[in-house]
Structure 1
Amino acid sequence: MMTVRADELRENLHLVRERIEKACEAAGRASDEVTLVAVTKTFPVSDVRALTALGVRDVGENREQELKAKAPDWPDVTWHFVGQLQSKKARSVVRYASVVHSVDRSSLVTALSKAAVAEERTVRCLLQVSLAWYGPAEAATGAGRGGVEPSAILGLAAEVAAADGLELGGVMAVAPLGSDPDEAFAGLRDVASRLRSEHPGADWISAGMTGDLDAAIRQGATHVRLGRALLGTRPPLG
């Protein structure tokens, strides 16, 4: 018998998939071009169980400690690490995650490669692109959502492509606070196009969360990272 929580997740998933389908239709895209990554940060493993029972196969975590606590019980799930990653935690993340969305510096490339070789795994890496230029408030204060500057993306891409145990997958970004998401994600789309000109297989664009997934899909996102729309208001961090 379905629990109240499982019923809630079923309804949320239905609404999210419907929203993705409508956004794809409006953009002239097929809905199967966009992969939903369910971000379960701070939510219990029981929610992962319920979502996988409903057919979700891509799950994301922001924190290494939550990833290693949840992932071992769900080996048939593709685990995505979507948060900022310290190099010293690379091996722990590589042990469980098949995709790392937040590669933004050479030292992290080195750490991930060393970890992937040690764990005898191949990890797909997305380069996190800074879109701070598109957020006036963030640009003015120097604050941002992380990532490498667009001008440096091809250099970092070459490092990932040459690293043992790593596969260059594409790009990821978070729209800056106060930005026009269409403008910001159009900028990401241009960076992605430049990347593909040198690395044709690096065709993932990870962009779009609950508030801006429609804009991300309009601008070519292949993966959307959803937490609140799917799971509700986050419990406080422990």
Structure 2
Amino acid sequence: MTTPADRLQAVRARIAAAARAAGRDPAEVRLLAVSKTWPAAAVRELVALGQADFGENRAQELTGKAAELADVPLRWHFIGQLQRNKAAAVARLGAVVHSVDRVSLVRALARAGTEQGRPVEVLLQVDLGGPEGELAARGGAAPDDVPALADAVAAEQGLRLRGLMAVAPREGDPGPAFARLAVLAERVRSDHPEAGDISAGMSADLEEAIAAGSTLVRVGTALFGERPLPSPEDESHQSHGSHQPG
């Protein structure tokens, strides 16, 4: 049985090796630990080992876990599909929202950021499609819609545009999909230089994502192990979360 320290060290080593193989500085790539379905105690253990960033994909779970860990120095990220009526609760926690994919959500988060006097940091989720190019139904804006969505975020005083996020298609080589994301990210940066982050790559494909320029990899399984089977109640709420694995 490996320990949390062993798993964290192994993931960090993979990130560093992938960055060096791509001719990049490993310090350019940050690790986001995807803690969804895991108890607060597991998060606390990784924080004690030096991990700072954690991701959740359900607003209710995020707010509950954040309350349990209010004494712990960490940064929350929201990586699931976010309902507008949950936007304010997520924003109050100072969470970085990775899943902005429509103008209505832009407006809801902007209102929350304005009301709290602190801009909400956001990334635009891009639907990279499936193996035949069809939209993947995993959340995300169509690539052609992303530049206009970036303009909408940049126009809001209550928001700060951080960059783009995407999940690779479930089938096939993720490399070409991540390469398309990198091209789109460069286009967005040409208009919005502050949008320098690319959130891409998970336990199974972080090497390919880093090779394409990812600055933030979202890792769950390789850090925490296989997730517990969801309870019947969790299954009933699945439509409110993300389909993204770690």
TM-score in same-fold range (> 0.5): yes
How many angstroms does 1:207 deviate by? 0.1
For 1:69 and 1:236, the matched residues in 2 are separated by 20
Give the corresponding residue for 1:34.
Answer: 29
Is 1:135 matched with 2:131? yes
Root-mean-square deviation (CA, aligned residues, Å) is: 1.5
Is 1:60 matched with 2:55? yes
For 1:98 and 1:203, the matched residues in 2 are separated by 18
Q: Any idea what the Cα deviations from partners look like across 1:101-146, whole Å, max 9, x if unmatched?
A: 00000000011011112222221110001100x522x72xx54322
The one-letter amino acid of 1:104's match is: D
Give the corresponding residue for 1:46.
Answer: 41
Q: Any idea what the Cα deviations from partners look like across 1:154-183, whole Å, max 9, x if unmatched?
A: 111111011121001100000011132110
How many angstroms does 1:88 deviate by? 1.0
> Gaps (5+ residues) in structure 1?
none
The one-letter amino acid of 1:61's match is: E
Give the corresponding residue for 1:146.
Answer: 139
For 1:48 and 1:64, the matched residues in 2 are separated by 17
The one-letter amino acid of 1:147's match is: G
How many angstroms does 1:205 deviate by? 0.2
By percentage of residues, which structure has more helix? 1
Q: Any idea what the Cα deviations from partners look like across 1:180-214, whole Å, max 9, x if unmatched?
A: 21100000000000000000110000000011000
The one-letter amino acid of 1:232's match is: G
For 1:222 and 1:124, the matched residues in 2 are separated by 15
How many angstroms does 1:235 deviate by? 1.2
* 8 A Cα contact 1:117 1:165, kept in partner: yes
Is 1:223 matched with 2:220? no
> Gaps (5+ residues) in structure 2?
235-246
* 8 A Cα contact 1:58 1:77, kept in partner: yes
* 8 A Cα contact 1:91 1:111, kept in partner: yes
- Percentage of matched positions with identical amino acids: 51
* 8 A Cα contact 2:128 2:136, kept in partner: no
Count residues with an aligned counterpart: 229
* 8 A Cα contact 2:127 2:136, kept in partner: no
Is 1:116 matched with 2:109? no
So what's the TM-score if we normalise by structure 1? 0.92
